[in-house]
Amino acid sequence: MARTNYLDLPVGQEELYFKGLQSGDRFEFPRIVRKNAFFSRKKIAGLTAKSYLPIISGLWAGFTDQQKLDWKDIDTRTNQHGWRMFVSDQSHRIKLGYSGVATPNEYHQNLVGGINIVAPAEEVLIAQYHPASYYIQQKIQGTKNTYEPVMVTEEVSLPLSLSINYKSTLTSTGAGSFCRLFATIRHFYQGRDIDTNLVLDIPLSGGWASLSDTITSLLGEIVGYNMFIHIYKATGTLLFDNIKVEHSGQNWCRDTFCKDISQIFTRAYYQVPKNWAPITLPVGTDYDSVYPV
């Protein structure tokens, strides 16, 4: 097999090239492989048998116009689409063995973040770090499943807003118990590094709801910030979704929709920090993305 370091396609041949060929795994065995443009009847039958789409399509066909609109309304993308949201949600229900269909919920979509604490444990602290510059995993435009590590420079400009959707079923285990999402903002003023917290106190028990707050001014120059979720002196479960930390006109939270909050990046993405890294995670505790029921 020929090895190539660089491929220069003749003008006008790009469409034909990408129509018939594609890149293989570039980290384990880099190569160009043939696309499966056509499938045999046997393979098509096998794919259909494994697909949830026939079942989901039948459920969707039985919805009223209002039900379809409800699914469209909770789509978080700019180009809202109810069918896309329903397919994503219902696929997880079927895979996990849940019957029926979910009710569209404005506070969460599909998977959510979940923290669970079982006695004798009574504390969890996880963090999402936002230094001045860091790497993220970013999809390469024009590809289906190809990503690359990209350096991000995050310059903080106030106001800075913090928000979260949550559902909590926690029980206090002693005095001083709390559950909170907070951002610690470090700023430099008159030769001192000062940490200022923007705190959202989450009730220990409550149905799906939203919390948000904003900090508009700080002394000196902002160096950076980190976000934390901290549960102290409590057992039970916290579910959360749609976490946002907004400044400079955009949302900088990684994995806002909690698709994989404990994801570990490996191989070419080893320098990408975890979406949420554990600081305090004793035996009897865990955190991951889960499907809420």
- CA dist 186 and 194 (Å) reads 6
pLDDT tens-place values along the chain, 293 residues long: 556 556 677 777 777 776 677 666 555 556 676 766 555 665 655 555 567 888 888 899 989 999 999 999 888 777 788 888 899 889 988 888 888 888 888 899 889 999 999 999 999 999 999 988 888 888 777 776 777 888 889 889 899 999 999 999 999 999 999 999 999 999 999 989 999 999 999 999 999 999 999 999 999 899 889 999 999 999 999 999 999 999 998 999 999 999 999 887 776 777 888 899 999 999 999 999 999 98
pLDDT tens for 63-117 read 999 999 999 988 877 778 888 889 988 998 888 888 888 888 889 988 999 999 9
Tell me the backbone φ, ψ of residue 44, rounded to 5 degrees.
Answer: -60, -40
Question: Would you kindly state where each structural domain of the chain is located, as residue ranges?
Answer: 41-104, 113-290
Tell me the backbone φ, ψ of residue 120, rounded to 5 degrees.
Answer: -85, 0
- CA dist 183 and 198 (Å) reads 5
Question: Coil, helix or strand for 1?
Answer: coil
